[in-house]
Structure 1
Amino acid sequence: MSDAEREHVVSLLNKAVGRGMISLDEFTARTDTALAAVTRADLNAVLLDLPGMVNNELAHARTELKNTMSTTTRKGHWVVPRELVIRNTLGTTNLDFTAADVPPIVNVDLDVSLGTVKLLLPAGSSVNADGVEITAGELKDKVHNSVGNPHFQLKGSVRGGTVVIKRKR
């Protein structure tokens, strides 16, 4: 969850107040819940009963995953944004896209220092990692420049780290 996602939902709640869908007291309670949300399910829960206010825009937004000396994992069903920024320092980021809701093109911007990023792509997908600059690290791309859908476009820098890209068979 990023602060931008939380702020986006608060802006949708603000629209709901303007349309008379919720009261100011309810807006305050829902805003508190949205700002404290840890998962997308928590975040979307404040919008579910508001017609036309379901937060579908999150799938089209930019999400930043920050990780310092820890592990970040996304697997199972999750909504993948069009732009995904991975900032990883001395940690591990594991992203399994095989059961995720993935847009046709995903731009992945890497900023990795002494960390590991593992990407498991869906069957039939493609990837281009030509825009990744490796310094004292390693890129293990088992799908390199393939043609398919969805397409993952990687760029950024890896300093003393490892990026592993695999595709589910």
Structure 2
Amino acid sequence: MGGTESTGAGGTVGDRELRVSDAEREHVGQLLQRAVGMGMLSLGEFTERMDTALAAKTRGELNAVLIDLPGVRLVGQPAAPRPGFVRPAPVLRKPVPAPPGNVIRSRLSGVTRKGPWQVPPVLRLNNWFSGVTLDFTEAVMSTQVVEVHVDDYFGSVNLIVPAEATVDLNGLDLLGSSINNKVRTGPPLGPLHIVVHGQLRFGTVTAKHRFVTHWRRFLGH
């Protein structure tokens, strides 16, 4: 007769074997990025540990990239209470999902939006080790001004815009990254003005026209 296999004491799964979510992986990525800024990790170590964090399935695997960093609270570890402090009971709140179509989220992937795609007034990019291309030349716009919020690691963002469009990249916070704006910054006098802000770590952002637009200008059309 077969028995029920279990892990941990009392037939329960131990903390190290608990599955981790994408939100926990992203939190660890932010801690690693902070460690780079403080000089505790080199860029090579950061890349290696980010690869491990992205592939981690359990808390034990995820915490392995943080274990030697001082002052970092591990995933699933509660903060130490102050003397005399009574921790209140948690209040469960139903998470509010982001509006559909407003978030582009990828991991180790390539994402392209082109053709007559619907562009929301606010578009959020959250990508790790990915390339994102947004082609606005045939897109269906709901507003003249589109806000693009970037929160990317080791990625590239390419914005392809119509000839009359303007793109403002001045609101980006860069870490080991570069921007290349090949179109007018403003003022927003045409049918489309894109404002890009947020954080980009070790990546690139490029705003440009279609290749045919440059040829038409060169030929005087």
Equivalence map 1:125-136=2 (5 Å): 125-136=165-176
What is the aligned counterpart of 1:69 among 108, 111, 133?
A: 108
Q: SS at the partner of 2:159?
A: strand
Structure 1's unaligned 5+ residue stretches are 1-59
What is the aligned counterpart of 1:162 among 188, 201, 204?
A: 204
Q: Paired residues, what number?
A: 110
Contact 2:165/2:184, CA 8 A, preserved across alignment: no
User: Could you say which residue in structure 2 is the equivalent of 1:145?
Assistant: 185
How far residue 75 of structure 1 moved from its aligned partner, in angstroms, is 0.7
| Alpha-carbon distance change, 70 to 62 in structure 1, aligned in 2, over 3 angstroms | closer
Contact 1:62/1:83, CA 8 A, preserved across alignment: no
Higher RCO structure, 1 or 2 (CA under 8 Å, sep 6+)? 1
Alignment root-mean-square deviation, CA: 1.7
Q: Give CA-to-partner distance per residue, 1:44-97, whole Å, 9 cap, x none.
A: xxxxxxxxxxxxxxxx98700001100111111111000000111101111111
Structure 2's unaligned 5+ residue stretches are 1-98, 214-221
Larger radius of gyration: 2
How far residue 160 of structure 1 moved from its aligned partner, in angstroms, is 0.2
How far residue 146 of structure 1 moved from its aligned partner, in angstroms, is 2.8
Distance in 1 (alpha carbons) for counterparts of 2:182 and 2:194: 13
User: Could you say which residue in structure 2 is the equivalent of 1:10?
Assistant: none
How far residue 167 of structure 1 moved from its aligned partner, in angstroms, is 2.3
TM-score (norm 2): 0.47
Identity across the alignment (%)? 32
Q: SS at the partner of 1:107?
A: strand
Distance in 1 (alpha carbons) for counterparts of 2:184 and 2:100: 26
How far residue 144 of structure 1 moved from its aligned partner, in angstroms, is 4.5
Q: SS at the partner of 1:67?
A: strand
Contact 1:61/1:83, CA 8 A, preserved across alignment: no
* Aligned-partner residue type, residue 163 of structure 2: A
How far residue 155 of structure 1 moved from its aligned partner, in angstroms, is 0.5
The answer as to 2:128 corresponding to 1:86 is no
Distance in 1 (alpha carbons) for counterparts of 2:186 and 2:145: 14
User: Could you say which residue in structure 1 is the equivalent of 2:137?
Assistant: 98
TM-score (norm 1): 0.61
| Alpha-carbon distance change, 126 to 61 in structure 1, aligned in 2, over 3 angstroms | farther
Distance in 2 (alpha carbons) for counterparts of 1:145 and 1:61: 29
Distance in 2 (alpha carbons) for counterparts of 1:86 and 1:109: 6
Contact 1:70/1:90, CA 8 A, preserved across alignment: yes
Q: SS at the partner of 1:146?
A: coil
Q: Segments of 4+ in structure 1 off by > 2 A?
A: 146-149
* Aligned-partner residue type, residue 165 of structure 1: A
Distance in 2 (alpha carbons) for counterparts of 1:93 and 1:61: 18
